[in-house]
Chain A
């Protein structure tokens, strides 16, 4: 029995090697895009898809071959994502995977990457566990939790009114939420910022009715709250805080950037949210403005940072494949180390030390938008720009 299995396995390997040689010749470069299109972060997933598609269109070809994107819906469920990943790699023949919003999904995918044996570049997962998690796993996307914590803490220390506040920490109950909350608490304590509840409060991802949490915040008498919520949910929470009259009394600092469409829907109730993010359309540099207009032309919707960092991540991946000269997983992985791209928010470089990106970022606060071509009424106003070195982690 064992002999038969080994012989057949051997035959299979030979066969697949031969088959893959065939695929090389003139086919398009197939990239699997895994984003959530249903579920609570559907809007975020859509924005990521737009960013990646825009990059593919602008890049045009890799190694003289057209780029073909295969998009699958992760439904924010790790087992579904892994199944779809298998489908993308083994049925559709994708040579790399890109995307993924949720840290939970990202970690599950990373755990299974040996089975898939293709490079995986996430354009949004923020958990710090991604640093050096696997030679085939990379990040070029939104700031990681530790970088955000550094940004937020520095931001708080720079403002005397924020420095004195006591913060109630409330996170979404999953890998990313816990990590984000913990990072902030640790760093805040080191810097003398007062935290109300060190064993941060956790809310299920699906929470829509925040009244009990808001009652607790109200009853605790704090004047600041640090939230680690999925971007689409932040404005929902802010609106209810405002409904309960807490918008002016309690300052909201967020570990994630709120989604632009949801901010529009929330309106004034969403003013005053403070937080660090890699980009906001308020960034006023020629590259940024140019990118915003190109995005607007293509999609007619407010440029979101999810789209921006997905665009940059995709560009990094495409350039990596180009640099590798082939679609071999190991070659791409080697090429991605140290690669960088100059985009809407400056230079984004994937560090060879831990496969994750370093880039500059901005500290923002939501407020009424100035005149803008997108018809947006709420903006994330840039208060300060951090350099990549400031945010770390050190290399």
Chain B
């Protein structure tokens, strides 16, 4: 498994181009809601950004640490419920407090689960994520009094977003939440990139490549796996907080095995081991799923064929296409 992104090579002649592209994309995204008033597209891009963040968090786990999780969306869901419940029952106005409470709560849940899971690796780890994911899903689904069960969390308020006393807007406003999401996601992206490109990230990649060897050179494999897991879960919980603020609603379907598979597809589509690839994967996946499900009620057949095709012929995903081109040019 080759990663397509590693320590940034400043001397790389593409580096300036990449920087320029990134700035261009951010500017475009930032100006978008002011150019187009179409609420549907604003919401769609917000959703893509949130799922992109979730996909990126799974990529940290899968692409960098080498641990497969079938239901990473579980932690996004738990945080979304936590934030929602906090806003509904405790304090409808304190947005930041709710988010922090949600992230902390989710981390507290993810920690023991992670501790149990990192004692294994590979397939066993993946199945454990499925098992725990189903457990949380079932708890949320059944606990009608708290979570509203199948109907989901109702009555979410729309608190205002204030930063240091400066009123930025109301979270019910699609443009406000779009910009808020854009900023948070961008910050997370660059932070994650920084972490991945640090020695810590290198250790994670070492574990992914060969666990035993990493242990031989003195790395505490279990501890680093757990840290990688926690990083991924924290990012997922941020995505969850953004999700419920954006949607105003959370239901158990977001925490289901089916949705978990969706996140996995996004990472695969975008290319494992590439952070921005995860975003690309999310965009493509959401678009395709929406497009295909509108066209035909038999979209599952196409989704299945698509995945099979992808795995057989394009395992490095979207980000890996760059490699293909490079190879092409050299030949």
Contact = CB atoms under 8 A, between A and B. Distances in A.
Give yes or no for direct A-B contact (beta carbon below 8 Å): yes
Interface of A: 1-2, 5, 8-9, 12-13, 15-16, 37-38, 72-73, 75, 77-80, 82-83, 86-87, 89-91, 103-104, 107-108, 111-112, 115, 173-175, 202, 204-205
Given A86-B39, A91-B38, A108-B154, A9 B175 contact: yes
Given A5-B175, A37-B297, A79-B254, A174 B151 contact: yes
Interface in B27-68: 33-34, 37-41, 43, 47
Nearest to A178: B144
18 contacts: A8-B33, A38-B297, A72-B294, A73-B297, A82-B247, A86-B39, A87-B40, A89-B40, A90-B40, A91-B41, A107-B154, A108-B151, A108-B251, A115-B39, A174-B150, A175-B151, A204-B142, A205-B150
Task: Tell me the interface secondary structure of chain A in the complex.
Answer: helix
Contact of B152 (A1, A73, A79): A79
A200 to B, nearest CB: 13
Contacts of B152: 78-79, 104, 108
B244 to A, nearest CB: 10
A108 B151 CA distance: 8
A214 B167 CA distance: 58
Interface of B: 33-34, 37-41, 43, 47, 141-142, 144, 149-152, 154-155, 167-169, 172, 174-176, 247-251, 253-254, 290, 293-294, 297
B253 to A, nearest CB: 4
Of residues B47, B141, B149, which shows the largest number of chain A Cβ atoms within 10 Å of its Cβ?
A: B149
B247 A79 contact: yes
Nearest to B253: A77
Contacts of A73: 293, 297
A6 B169 CA distance: 10
Given A79-B249, A82-B247, A8 B34 contact: yes
Nearest to B168: A1
A178 to B, nearest CB: 8
Contacts of A78: 151-152, 249, 251, 253
A72 B294 CA distance: 6
Nearest to A42: B297
B253 A80 contact: yes
Contacts of A90: 38-41, 43
A111 B157 CA distance: 11
Given A78-B152, A79-B253, A2 B34 contact: no
A335 to B, nearest CB: 25
Q: Which 6 A-B pairs have the closest CB atoms?
A: A90-B40, A12-B37, A104-B151, A174-B150, A91-B40, A77-B253
B287 to A, nearest CB: 12
Contacts of B251: 77-79, 108
Contacts of B297: 37-38, 73
B249 A86 contact: no
Contact of A111 (B154, B168, B174, B176): B154
B78 to A, nearest CB: 16
Contacts of A111: 154-155, 248-249
A79 B250 contact: yes
B304 to A, nearest CB: 14
A319 B142 CA distance: 42
B249 A108 contact: yes
Contacts of B167: 2
Of residues B38, B142, B152, B248, which shows the largest number of chain A Cβ atoms within 10 Å of its Cβ?
A: B152
Nearest to A77: B253
Given A72-B294, A78-B152, A111-B154, A86 B253 contact: no
Of residues B150, B154, B249, B297, which shows the largest number of chain A Cβ atoms within 10 Å of its Cβ?
A: B150
A202 B141 CA distance: 13
B248 A112 contact: yes
B168 A107 contact: no
Contacts of B155: 111
Contacts of A202: 144
A112 B141 CA distance: 22
Contacts of B175: 5, 8-9
B44 to A, nearest CB: 8
Contact of A86 (B43, B142, B254, B293): B43
Given A5-B176, A83-B43, 6 more contacts: A2-B167, A9-B175, A73-B297, A79-B254, A82-B247, A204-B141
Contacts of B172: 115
Nearest to B36: A12
B139 to A, nearest CB: 13
Contacts of B248: 111-112
Contacts of A112: 248-249
Given A91-B38, A205-B150, A5 B169 contact: yes
Contacts of A91: 38, 40-41
Contacts of B249: 78-79, 82, 108, 111-112
A9 B155 CA distance: 26
Contacts of A83: 43, 47
A34 to B, nearest CB: 12
A73 B294 CA distance: 8
A83 B43 CA distance: 9
Of residues A1, A77, A103, which shows the largest number of chain B Cβ atoms within 10 Å of its Cβ?
A: A77
A73 B291 CA distance: 12
A35 to B, nearest CB: 11
Contacts of B294: 72
Contacts of A107: 151, 154
A15 B37 contact: yes
A9 B176 CA distance: 11
B298 to A, nearest CB: 9
Contacts of B250: 79
A173 B149 contact: yes
A8 B168 CA distance: 14
A83 B34 CA distance: 21
A8 B179 CA distance: 14
